[in-house]
Amino acid sequence: MEEEEELEQSSNASSPRQISSRDFEHTEQISKDRDTAGVALYVYFIAVVVAIGGFLFGYDTGVISSAMLLLEQDFTMTALQKGIVVGATTLGAVFGGAVAGYLSDWVGRWITSIFSALIFLGGAIILSIANTYSLLVTGRLIIGVGVGLASMVVPIYISEISPRKYRGRLVTLNVLFITGGQVIAYLIGIVFVEFGGWRWMFGISGIPPLIQLFIMPIVPESPRFLIKKGKNEEAKSVLKKIYPDSSHDFIDKEINIIYETIAVDEAGSYKQLFHYPNLKPLIIACGLQTIQQVSGFDTAMYYGGTIMKMAGFVNIRDAIVFSLVVSLTNFLMTGVALYIIDGVGRRKILIYTVIATILGLLLLGLGFYFTTGFTPKQPNCIDYGDKCGACLLDDRCGFSKRDGGTCLPRNTKNTATSIGKINFFSPLNGNKQENDNSTDEEFYENCPSLKPIYTWFTLVSLIIYVMAYALGLGHAPWLIQSEIFPLNVRGRASGIGTATNWLFNLLITVSFLPLTEIITTTGTFWLYAIFMIFSWFFIYFMVPETAGLSLEEIQGLF
């Protein structure tokens, strides 16, 4: 690993000496231990248990897509209020991510993982019993804190209990658990959309943290934290389980390397990030994390069911099923990306996949133009006239069969038009009102003029967009961020990059539905396409290729 190369080269440069044949044999044996050591089942077991946090990260960010379709039937919410419900988890994650680094360094990775599981469990319980809007938002905020903690501590924990040679492979297990959690969330949504509803979708997420809490007592603390706290014998015991077939000399060597990395890390500071040669890498890392979010991809995950309804899949179950197709595409393409990114290169894969992402967004906007038109939200349902697509996007309205088809208010869909008109502590359906004598039987379920080919065109465009994102922006920013900083500032820089990601995630998540009302769904996705065009130039002129380079060679690029 590059960290070891850097430390060994530094040590050799500062204290050169003649290497004896005995030293050579000693070094050769250590290298042999390192090269032949596989991954013990014990390590896989620890990684899977810890990665339950990643699974919950994926599940709790993905389940809202299905749950929202049912929540909007029980809670009267404006577009902004829906965005707050979805974005509350992101806001909680910003806080959780901000304290995760300090917490894991203070009490350890093990206790932080326990704390994260307890938060996930508490949030699941609150959401499953929520009967007011405020309690719903509170539950989502609490879940978000758990997501933030897990997003930071899980990859660190796994990396510190993994054999060096297989560290990258085991850490990516967390990525697969996250995307897998999103897939399971859609499957659960399909099951409970007709049996149990949104309470079960949220409540069932309390099972994985219970399993994790039950198993964690036999999972050890990371060796790095133990050594940092002076518990060398405990650390040695854990390392012997991680490298069961290695010699005592090899274990001692690992402990020395961990000592040296801790010393280098403690020599760094945040101030160093804003000076040469760390400033440009910081701009690149934050820029890539921003680009990942302004691509709008998380709207496809958080609002997948809603987007499918916009595209013409009016049946809730159908909307969730086709959202599952999108989530599976993300999961499979993430696996492909992990396989090809070292061979193709980070920069090259970003340059090509961002072009494909732009194409997907343009086609997606075109698909929504065919299905819903280019009409923004109107003050009154009657103002939509015969524009059926825009009419059906408005929860207040339905496309009536009267007079050959016209937009009229539904008798049970008089949604509050401002956040000030909702009682945050009101029970379900607390402020739905009747304002028309029309009955639902008079309304079309779907636009009579909508051609099925337009709906399928929109779905295919969404899949193209998701494929392109998953192959490039879904993975490359995190990988590049982990490579471009020297060891003494890497942790601090990664924290800033991650915070940037969550902040823009929050901005995009909360603004999505209001934007679709102001500039239409078509305009929103075309706006994301414009962001991606500027992003492509940033990548082309700013991001270097790091594949196949050592840490020293990467630092030489700046």
pLDDT in tens, 441-455: 478 877 887 788 888
* Per-residue pLDDT tens over the stretch 59-91: 998 899 889 888 988 888 888 888 899 889 989
What are the C-alpha distances in Å from 119 to residues 124, 140, 213, 333, 461? 8, 11, 11, 31, 37
Q: Looking at residues 260-289, what average pLDDT do you find?
A: 87
- What's the pLDDT score for residue 550? 66
Are 366 and 522 in contact by the 8 Å Cβ rule? The answer is yes
Q: Rounded to the nearest 10 degrees, how much is the dihedral formed by the CA atoms of 190, 373, 455, 350?
A: -80
Q: Give the Cα separation of 87 and 143 in Å (integer).
A: 11
The b/e string for 5-37 (b: 16+ C-beta within 10 A; e otherwise) is ebbeeeeeeeeeeeeeeeeeeeeeebeebbeeb
Q: Is the pLDDT of residue 24 over 60?
A: no
Q: What does DSSP assign to residue 395? A: T
- Range ranked top by mean pLDDT from 78-92, 116-130, 256-270: 116-130
Q: Is the pLDDT of residue 2 over 50?
A: no
Q: Looking at residues 314-324, what average pLDDT do you find?
A: 77
The b/e string for 162-178 (b: 16+ C-beta within 10 A; e otherwise) is bbbeebeebbbbbbbbb
Q: Is the pLDDT of residue 529 over 90?
A: yes
- What's the pLDDT score for residue 411? 66
- What's the pLDDT score for residue 65? 85
Residue 352: which pLDDT band, with cuts at 50, 70 and 90? Answer: very high
- Per the prediction, the chain carries an average pLDDT of 82
Q: Looking at residues 358-374, what average pLDDT do you find?
A: 91
Q: Is the pLDDT of residue 30 over 70?
A: no
Q: Is the pLDDT of residue 283 over 90?
A: yes
- What's the pLDDT score for residue 435? 42
Are 304 and 328 in contact by the 8 Å Cβ rule? The answer is no
Q: Is the pLDDT of residue 429 over 70?
A: no
Q: Looking at residues 154-176, what average pLDDT do you find?
A: 80
| Three-state secondary structure call for residue 408 | strand
What are the C-alpha distances in Å from 290 to residues 16, 89, 484, 507, 531? 45, 18, 17, 11, 10
Q: Which of 514, 508, 529, 513 is nearest to 461 (CA)?
A: 529
Q: Mind giving me the DSSP string for 264-326?
A: HHHT--SGGGGSTTTHHHHHHHHHHHHHHHHTTHHHHHHTHHHHHHHTT--SHHHHHHHHHHH
Residue 252: which pLDDT band, with cuts at 50, 70 and 90? Answer: confident
Are 139 and 85 in contact by the 8 Å Cβ rule? The answer is no
Burial class (CB in 10 A: 0-12, 13-18, 19+), 538: middle
Gyration radius (Cα) of the chain, Å:
26
Q: Give the Cα separation of 513 and 294 in Å (integer).
A: 15
Residue 168: which pLDDT band, with cuts at 50, 70 and 90? Answer: low
Q: Is the pLDDT of residue 420 over 70?
A: no
Q: Mind giving me the DSSP string for 113-173?
A: HHHHHHHHHHHHHHHHH--SHHHHHHHHHHHHHHHHHHHHHHHHHHHHTS-GGGHHHHHHH
Longest dimension (CA), the chain: 97
Phi, psi of 397 (to 5 degrees): -115, 160
The neighbour count for residue 404, using CB atoms within 10 Å, is 8
Residue 27: which pLDDT band, with cuts at 50, 70 and 90? Answer: very low
Partner residues linked to 398 by β-bridges = 408
- What's the pLDDT score for residue 20? 42
Q: Is the pLDDT of residue 3 over 60?
A: no
| Three-state secondary structure call for residue 16 | coil
- What's the pLDDT score for residue 14? 38
Place of tokens 């709207």: 299
Residue 129: which pLDDT band, with cuts at 50, 70 and 90? Answer: very high
Rounded (10°) angle between helices 476-483 and 279-294: 170
Q: Looking at residues 348-362, what average pLDDT do you find?
A: 96
- What's the pLDDT score for residue 11? 41
SS (H, E, C) 427-474: CCCCCCCCCCCCCHHHECCCCCCCCHHHHHHHHHHHHHHHHHHHHCCC
Residue 288: which pLDDT band, with cuts at 50, 70 and 90? Answer: very high
Q: Give the Cα separation of 402 and 20 in Å (integer).
A: 96
Q: Is the pLDDT of residue 372 over 50?
A: yes
Residue 387: which pLDDT band, with cuts at 50, 70 and 90? Answer: confident
Name the strand (E) or helix (H) holding 400: strand 397-400
Burial class (CB in 10 A: 0-12, 13-18, 19+), 288: buried
Are 440 and 410 in contact by the 8 Å Cβ rule? The answer is yes
The CA angle 82-84-516, to the nearest 5 degrees, is: 55
Q: Which of 83, 81, 85, 92 is nearest to 56 (CA)?
A: 92
| Three-state secondary structure call for residue 93 | helix
- What's the pLDDT score for residue 98? 80
Q: Is the pLDDT of residue 525 over 80?
A: yes
The neighbour count for residue 240, using CB atoms within 10 Å, is 14
Are 331 and 180 in contact by the 8 Å Cβ rule? The answer is yes
Residue 99: which pLDDT band, with cuts at 50, 70 and 90? Answer: confident
Q: Which of 67, 214, 188 is nearest to 139 (CA)?
A: 67
Domain 37-219+265-373+450-556 has CATH 3.30.365.10: no
- What's the pLDDT score for residue 337? 86
Q: Is the pLDDT of residue 268 over 70?
A: yes
Residue 121: which pLDDT band, with cuts at 50, 70 and 90? Answer: very high
Q: Is the pLDDT of residue 35 over 70?
A: no
- What's the pLDDT score for residue 308? 78
Q: What does DSSP assign to residue 398? A: E
Lowest mean pLDDT among 27-36, 114-123, 223-232: 27-36
Place of tokens 């997501």: 147
Show me where the domains of the chain are located.
37-219+265-373+450-556, 376-412+444-448
Instruction: Look at 425 and 269; give whichever has higher pLDDT.
Output: 269
Would the CA dihedral through 270, 168, 298, 98 be positive or negative? negative
Q: Does pTM surpass 0.85?
A: no
Residue 10: which pLDDT band, with cuts at 50, 70 and 90? Answer: very low
Reading the block at residue 184, the tokens are 């399971």
Q: Is the pLDDT of residue 334 over 80?
A: yes
Are 112 and 104 in contact by the 8 Å Cβ rule? The answer is yes
